[in-house]
Structure 1
Amino acid sequence: MLLTRSDVNKGHPAYYQDYARRLADETPGAFYIDQFNNDANPLAHATSTAPELYQQLEGDIDAIVVGVGSGGTLGGLQAWFAEHSPKTEFILADPAGSILADQVDTGRYGETGSWLVEGIGEDFIPPLARLEGVHTAYRVSDREAFHTARQLLQVEGVLAGSSTGTLLSAALRYCRAQSRPKRVVTFACDSGNKYLSKMFNDDWMRQQGLIARPEQGDLSDFIALRHDEGATVTAAPDDTLAAVFTRMRLYDISQLPVLEDGRVVGIVDEWDLIRHVQGDRQRFSLPVSEAMSRHVETLDKRAPESELQAILDRGLVAVIADNTRFLGLVTRSDVLTAWRNRVAQ
């Protein structure tokens, strides 16, 4: 498996399509399927998906809600329904930040943004997408898409992904805008099993600003992973450095509080690991107590923000407590995340 970058646009050598094409050109005997330009893509939907939908709904479909990644689903369904059911409207569900809804509404390229929904939405117009045949386009935010997918699991027991959440959100909006009942089709087009640590994880959703935690008006508002909610990743003094490193990698964090009998007795970060392991990899078996920093900057949650700022200005991590009860850590990144989330809400 080769990883590509998600922060570059089409035409950049690290963009996933350009990367795949170059890899195919350089690999003897390789075949580049190219779903974005391969006519077999929409043909598969025109010869299988479309007639199946038509048969299951007994030839009576008022609207079909789709997303666009490669454009194959939209293009194939439109080609078939134009001949067999021209009354059927096509509705585009587009992640907020994608340019496709702008193209439908105005015929012009909009400004490309960013989105967390995976699998649909683009920063270019896929050649296979027949956007001129789209009746209405809905822009769906990450917040709406993710919460709809979570609700789908809670209410219907269907574990679907973020693309499904986007399509279902748009379908619900379309249905609610109608003056009479209509027969509307959309797709559960991706599984939710790859989102268990993201969309279905409350801590991750809070870090992304997609679940709002009630503000307390004190320093605890800056804690990303609260210990009293069971979210803080911790270490014990006798844990090995190898175990701590594994937790850092697993949870994508740079430091852990070291707790003993519920009290913070130290903090261990990546630099502590480097200093103690460098030159002798066998030292990964050392206990955390030999590597952790025992100098811990603790603030009561009612302290002024200026005291938190002073600690962070020195490159340190702040331990936030309620009297003597440990609540969590605050890093510079946590402060920035909290500020961003306030704007997003």
Structure 2
Amino acid sequence: MNYANNILETIGNTPMVRLNKVTEDIQATVLAKVEYFNPGHSCKDRMALKMVEDAEADGRLKPGGTIIEGTSGNTGMGLALAAVVKGYKLICVITDKQSKEKMDILRAVGAKVVVCPTDVEPTDPRSYYSVSKRLAEETPNAWYVNQYDNPSNAQANYEQTGPEIWEQTNGKITHFVVGVGTGGTISGVAKYLKEKNPDVKIWGVDTYGSVFKKYHETGIFDENEVYSYVTEGIGEDILPKNVNFSLIDGFTKVTDKDAAVYTRKLALQEGIFVGMSSGSALKGLLQLKEHFKPDDVVVVLFHDSGSRYIGKIFNDDWMRERGYLDEEITKAVDLIQSHIDKPMVTVRTEELVAHAIERMQKFKISQIPVIDVNGFVGSVDESDLFQAYIKDSNIAEKPIKEVMGAAYPIVNKEALIEDVSKLITKDNQAVLVDLGNNKYHIITKYDIIGSIK
């Protein structure tokens, strides 16, 4: 009989698949190492198991212990599989930008999930780096994995992923392209491939908001390059020890929008259902096409499964809200598609200013139309309310009619964007669009800005 003794024995030996339609402009042979065939559906299974086994071997992880790690989700899944089979507890510290699917999956395999804010400095006590370390210190019999600096991360890819790629290409690989996060995959694979053939070129794919590309090119860690981004699993605001820059020939950066768009293209044109970092890797490869000759063999690694991004990349509403769908936006009605199904927030003339402020805070809006029994009669804007408050601190208890401005102009839903834009001025911050059947919606300058491609 041919079977695995447990799920951990099925890690590795993932397939290599030729890309065709999405790379039709590239003459070289382009192959994808599709890592979602691992049991935890990502490349992180390899290093998670290696880190656990190495920690067991040297006594850092003891029987009945608790594994603690900060993760974007995939490493947590790999650790969870190891914890289930080997009998450990697991606490995963994750940022709030990660998909809900990732959090639900981690809980499904027994992990405790702690969610931390994304937009804080790495040294902030609320960051997932800091919280992970603190929990490891406070939890009895705990082991903090620290995948960013743990050498077993890169070693796993040196021992497994690199040799698999070399054997699957019969040693003909000329370029390796992969997204860079903790650095374990690119560094481990690069070390193995360059030992086999020093001429193999290693390209890292970075994201805007991350420090890798500039640091590699200049040696400067530029904090001005650090800002929030949407893409999960690649890019960093720190320099993990696992990123061996000396083994990397270059970096290319990919936008969040391109990452999302090219992730969808892989599903639609190749039938390869992967996550957002794989879309980044594909777009990065296409940006590097001038480096590839017809006889070259280019391998790109696809990190994880698209099943963890159903509520994001593969959700039209989520994509539309961020301007990632290339829809033709020419009319007033096109501008409000992301919120057309939601009722427009209004306030009545006799309501208090406090009520308008509460609604602005609740719905995170800056402008509200004012109505009475006859229809739209005025408007309130947060900047106007602020100026009124400076003059009179008791403004919150006054009726809206005493502070409201002029009513917003109303346009037909077929009105051209150019005409709508002209109506939004310094003194008029919004326009109402008539959808028919006594239904209206609001267009603000941010809707106009969001339509710009």
1:52 Cα offset (Å):
1.0
Q: Which residue of 2 aligns with 1:194?
A: 308
Query: What amino acid maps onto 1:139 in structure 2?
Result: K
The yes-or-no answer on 1:62 pairing with 2:62 is no
TM-score normalised by length of structure 1: 0.70
SS in 2 for 1:186: strand
Q: Which residue of 2 aligns with 1:78?
A: 190
The yes-or-no answer on 1:321 pairing with 2:434 is yes
1:107 Cα offset (Å):
2.4
Contact 1:300-1:322 within 8 A present in 2 as well: no
1:77 Cα offset (Å):
1.5
Cα pair distance change 1:21/1:28, threshold 3 Å: same
SS in 1 for 2:205: strand
Give the distance between the partners of 2:310 and 2:244, measured in 1 at CA: 33
1:311 Cα offset (Å):
12
The yes-or-no answer on 1:339 pairing with 2:442 is no
Give the distance between the partners of 1:26 and 1:331, measured in 2 at CA: 50
1:206 Cα offset (Å):
2.1
Q: Which residue of 2 aligns with 1:31?
A: 143
- Give the structure with the larger strand fraction: 2
| Number of aligned residue pairs | 276
Give the distance between the partners of 1:341 and 1:126, measured in 2 at CA: 37
Pairs within 5 Å for 1:46-125: 46-110=158-222, 111-125=225-239
Contact 1:312-1:331 within 8 A present in 2 as well: no
Q: Which residue of 1 aligns with 2:383?
A: none
Give the distance between the partners of 1:201 and 1:299, measured in 2 at CA: 31
Relative contact order: is structure 1 or structure 2 higher (C-alpha 8 Å, sep ≥ 6)?
A: 2
Cα pair distance change 1:307/1:167, threshold 3 Å: closer
Query: What amino acid maps onto 2:166 in structure 1?
Result: Y
Q: Which residue of 2 aligns with 1:9?
A: 121
SS in 2 for 1:31: strand
Q: Of residues 338, 341, 350 in structure 2, which corresponds to 1:225? A: 338
Give the distance between the partners of 2:423 and 2:123, measured in 1 at CA: 47
Q: Which residue of 2 aligns with 1:160?
A: 274
Root-mean-square deviation over aligned CA pairs: 3.1
Give the distance between the partners of 1:88 and 1:37, measured in 2 at CA: 25
Contact 2:411-2:420 within 8 A present in 1 as well: no
1:5 Cα offset (Å):
1.0
1:153 Cα offset (Å):
0.4
Contact 2:433-2:443 within 8 A present in 1 as well: no
Cα pair distance change 1:131/1:308, threshold 3 Å: same
1:78 Cα offset (Å):
2.3
Q: Of residues 259, 277, 287 in structure 2, which corresponds to 1:173? A: 287
1:234 Cα offset (Å):
6.8
Cα pair distance change 1:179/1:187, threshold 3 Å: closer
Contact 2:180-2:206 within 8 A present in 1 as well: yes
1:98-134 Cα offsets, whole Å, 9 max, x none, are 1101122222224223321100001121111011221
Query: What amino acid maps onto 1:150 in structure 2?
Result: R
Q: Bigger shift: 42-51 or 177-186?
A: 177-186
TM-score normalised by length of structure 2: 0.55
Give the distance between the partners of 2:194 and 2:171, measured in 1 at CA: 13
Cα pair distance change 1:90/1:306, threshold 3 Å: closer
Give the distance between the partners of 1:184 and 1:310, measured in 2 at CA: 53
Q: Which residue of 2 aligns with 1:244?
A: none
